[in-house]
Chains A and B, each alone.
Chain A
Amino acid sequence: MEAQPALVARREPVVLRRPWLWAAPVAVVFGATRNLTLPAAVMVVAAGAGIGFTDRWVPRPPRADHPVVRAKGVVVWAAIIVMFCLWELAAFLLGNDTPHPTFSMLAEPMLAAYPIRALAMFGWLAWGWHLSDG
């Protein structure tokens, strides 16, 4: 006997309702990879593609928690980001070396350690999921 369509509750798959179920194992495995290796590149591209696909093709109800934002707010945050980027650019143009390290250069040794690398991957996945869910 077939269930009547109106009585069947439509639920999202568990991977959408509980994203940490896949994000945590991915981060645990990713923590063991190294920069500039194929496994790291493949995992980042696959995660980016997966979240991009979800954002584009999996309909989810929009969040209603975004307050009204005036242009001034966008300008202030954009100015802070631009300041950071200009400082990074200056360090890069001045040598990207020990006396003038870029932020990437400073972060590299930290992101090479297993727990920080795994946590960074989990944070990146969580942020991407949050963005695609908005």
Chain B
Amino acid sequence: MTSRGVTIVGFAAVLVLAAAAEILARARRIDLPHFGATVGHVMRRPGGRAAVLGIWFWLGWHFLAR
């Protein structure tokens, strides 16, 4: 496999892992909160809220504006 293929497979593997964790968490098949609940938990603290909203803005800036 080319290095490009390895790089893409690496990204795909992490995304598949995240999707699997989310699906299993929502189906309550594993002892893990789903992603939204985790983000909501982090946002209960002012610092966490600012950090999550900052990350949200940066993602928009990075992928949509620059």
Interface check A113, CB cutoff 8 A:
no
Are A44 and B53 CB-contacts (below 8 A) given A69-B38, A69-B41, A124-B60? no
Chain A residues whose C-beta falls within 8 Å of the C-beta of B44 in the assembled complex: 66
**Which residue of chain A has its CB nearest to the CB of B64?**
A44
Chain B residues 21-59 with CB under 8 Å of chain A are: 21, 31-33, 35, 37-44, 49, 52-53, 56-57, 59
Expressed in whole angstroms, the Cα–Cα distance for A45 and B18 within the complex equals: 29
Main secondary structure of the interface of B (DSSP, over half): helix
How many chain B residues have a CB neighbour from A under 8 Å?
Answer: 37
Interface check A134, CB cutoff 8 A:
yes
Chain A residues 38-75 with CB under 8 Å of chain B are: 40-41, 43-45, 47-48, 51-52, 55, 63, 65-70, 72-74
Question: Which residues of B come within 8 Å of A, CB atoms?
Answer: 2-4, 7-8, 10-11, 14-15, 17-18, 21, 31-33, 35, 37-44, 49, 52-53, 56-57, 59-66
